[in-house]
Structure 1
């Protein structure tokens, strides 16, 4: 993760655990030259299978409504909470 990505995650109260889950289980979309990882329905299903229902409920929907933009070299450039849906082609 880049220094800017760590700073954004800290400012937005997104724990490194969530960023790690995005990198491991998140769905991918390309947006403005970067790869964007987010939790869609299938990614949440994979998370539920891996973590279980109780842990997923403890994480909460707000933390699952996050995304990470990944740049060159698979470095997380920024993370944020999703306020609206991501536009996909």
Structure 2
């Protein structure tokens, strides 16, 4: 999935590696934000799937598993680090 220039800039500023964004797209939990976009984040279940997929690499990635991505119109709009819970619908 293509990322906007804003999303690429934010990922770099916030220290989120591209592999974490790819893992979010592949394994992340999706919630609608009721504004036409989806929020992708790692919940307990998706973290377990990433652990089984990544193996030994998981320990290096675990510090970045509080990240989220916002996807709209088939592209990544922004990425960030969660400090609060995602409101589930």
Whether these two folds match at TM > 0.5 is yes
Deviations along 1:33-72, whole A, 9 cap, x unmatched?
21111001111111111112x3211212x30000000010
In structure 2, the residue matched to 1:6 is 8
TM-score by length of 2: 0.90
Superposition CA RMSD, Å? 1.0
Q: Write the mapping of 1:11-30 to structure 2, written as runs, cut at 5 A.
A: 11-30=13-32
1:43 to 43, 46, 67: 46
Off by >3 Å, runs of 4+ in structure 1: none
Q: Write the mapping of 1:76-87 to structure 2, written as runs, cut at 5 A.
A: 76-87=76-87
Identify unmatched segments of 5+ residues in structure 1: none
Q: Measure how far apart 1:5 and its partner are.
A: 0.7
Name the SS of the counterpart of 1:14 in structure 2.
coil
